[in-house]
Structure 1
Amino acid sequence: MVILSCMVSIGQVSNPEHKNQSFSKAGRMRWKDIRPIVQGVAMNPVDHPNGGGEGKNTGGRPSVSKWGKPTKGHRTRNKRKLSGKYIVKRRFEK
């Protein structure tokens, strides 16, 4: 059963190693308008919940995202979500 209006390309990609290329330096990523990733603890407190303080400390709170959601294994899904009844089990057991 194949729909006649469908198109397909048969064969292989011309350069399968393209995804493995190294950019070698930060400037090449900047040419592509990709900005560097900065740790939250390196920011100011106005920019990130883990920012500020002397040295690289998190300010006495666990690691959180830029918007204050817990990271590193914490469950962040709303327990009252209606679509939760369709989740049979977790992908990875804690």
Structure 2
Amino acid sequence: MPVGKIIHYIYITHGKGGQLARVAGAITKLIAKEGKSATLELPYGERRLISKNCLAIVGQMGNVGVIQKRKSLGKARSKRWLGKRPIVRGVAMNPVDHPHGGGEGKAPIGRKKPATPWGYLALGRSRERNK
């Protein structure tokens, strides 16, 4: 590969698979080649020596616009517009609404074992014994 080329999915050791620059939109530059090793500039600024006979893919890693997708929605209502409903903990409910509910203040679960919203045990044995 010529010096100055942009590459991604770089093998550190031959035959072990790509281990460097695998994240979306990653760019690594081949800076120099000396003897049996090559110098790479990784996406986060680090310079690293690897063997010349290691493989890599020419070009930039795909899905470059993934960073723009990670935008803050701003407020809870925006989440509701997308059809997402609020998740409420069972402990925060009343006993009529959930088996974990009720108690004074931040009380623990009143039962011996955690239960589902329908009252069935959530942990431990859930199988019939004589199967």
TM-score where L is the length of structure 1: 0.50
RMSD: 2.9
Higher relative contact order structure (alpha carbons within 8 Å, sequence separation ≥ 6): 2
> Aligned residues: percent identity?
42
C-alpha distance 52-69 of structure 1, shift in aligned 2 (>3 A): same
Question: Rg bigger for which structure?
Answer: 2
> 1:32-91 deviations in whole A, cap 9, x for unaligned?
121111110111222211012222222243433324342xxx5566488xxxxxxxxxxx
Gaps of 5+ in 2: 1-60
Do residues 36 (structure 1) and 81 (structure 2) align?
no
Q: Write 1 or 2 for the structure with the bigger share of helix.
A: 1
Q: Write 1 or 2 for the structure with the bigger share of strand.
A: 2
Ranges of 4+ aligned residues in structure 1 off by more than 3 Å: 60-65, 74-80
Contact (CA 8 Å) 1:50, 1:61: kept in 2 or not?
no
C-alpha distance 38-29 of structure 1, shift in aligned 2 (>3 A): same
Aligned residues: 67
TM-score where L is the length of structure 2: 0.39
Gaps of 5+ in 1: 1-10, 81-94
> Aligned residue for 1:12?
62
